[in-house]
Amino acid sequence: MEPSNAGSSPAGALLVACLLVDVTLVVLSVVAGLVLGEELEPVVAQVPELKRLRLPLWGCASCGASRRAGGIWGLVPIAGALRVRRACPSCGVTPEHPWRPLGLASVSAVVFAALGLRLGPHLDLVAYDALALGLVAISAIDLEKLIVPVRVLYPTLLVTAALLTASSVLDGRLGPLWRAVVVGAASSAVFLCIHLVQPRGMGFGDVRLAGLVGFGSAWLGDGWHAVSRAGVAFLAAFVLGALIGLVVMAASGTGRKTRIPFAPFLASGAIVSVLWGAPIAHAWLGRFG
């Protein structure tokens, strides 16, 4: 093999180095997403009904015996998720949601990979991975039970805020942090108004979640762009919610009585804003400027 030309010029070497960093980051993000996303299963299965998590975490809902494969296979993420889809070895009852661990793992892996590519190897990436993981769990619970559990929302807010504060302090820039706090509080206030006018359409859980989404998306925007970043998140949430809501109403035939969980749309809006908030806000504000 002849020595690569790309490596001989400084620009080529830089390109190869960047590509290597990106590939490594995506691979690590996918593995982290699969492992951590799968571990959301006990949270999604237990949090809506119990005050405290029941042990073993992967216990059968019927007899409590561990459903997680023992030995070496229990340690391999997707192998573990595929095994728990089968009937319980102790009581023979099949799990209610056999594919859910795999769904949680794959969605988390895809989102982690996209965030890895977008944010690069920084502390911010860990903060947004934590936010994404919490949003995946909240969305899954809201889809199934129509609730936004504070026992997932508050820890997610706490961990994300702690990591973003650490990142702000390390960068020596506290501006993004206080802007994110103000935008997060304002987002909750706006959603509270919608909730007071239309309590059936917008639950109080969505009011709390809007604060987390506003905070998380605003942190990435400079100056007034903190507001437009949050604007992109909520605009995307309402557009996606309206489109999919119409399809669901038409398909179910129950019209406006259908209760549609809004957390998955708020979560998707937050991810859209983190990934493409800058270009969308630019195109959007450019139309008025």
Q: How far is the CB of 45 from Zn ion (least distance, A)?
A: 13
Q: Which of residues 70-109 bind Zn ion (CB under 5 A)?
A: 88, 90-91
Helix (H, G, I), strand (E, B) or coil at 52: coil
Q: How far apart are CA 226 and CA 217, in angstroms?
A: 7
Q: How far is the CB of 56 from Zn ion (least distance, A)?
A: 11
Q: How far is the CB of 86 from Zn ion (least distance, A)?
A: 11
For residue 63, what are its two tokens? 């007899």
Nearer to Zn ion, 63 or 250 (CB): 63
Nearer to Zn ion, 13 or 65 (CB): 65
Nearer to Zn ion, 91 or 196 (CB): 91
Q: Which of residues 133-172 bind Zn ion (CB under 5 A)?
A: none
- Nearest-CA neighbor of 129 among 45, 239, 34? 34
Q: Which of residues 25-64 bind Zn ion (CB under 5 A)?
A: 60, 62-63
Q: What character string, x for contact with Zn ion (CB under 5 A) and - otherwise, covers 230-269? A: ----------------------------------------
For residue 182, what are its two tokens? 């103000």
**206 neighbors 188 (Cβ within 8 angstroms):** no
Nearer to Zn ion, 67 or 229 (CB): 67
Q: How far is the CB of 96 from Zn ion (least distance, A)?
A: 12
Q: How far is the CB of 58 from Zn ion (least distance, A)?
A: 11
**218 neighbors 229 (Cβ within 8 angstroms):** yes
Q: How far apart are CA 108 and CA 280, in angstroms?
A: 23
**102 neighbors 44 (Cβ within 8 angstroms):** no
Q: How far apart are CA 44 and CA 24, in angstroms?
A: 30
Footprint on this chain of Zn ion (rule: CB under 5 A): 60, 62-63, 65, 88, 90-91
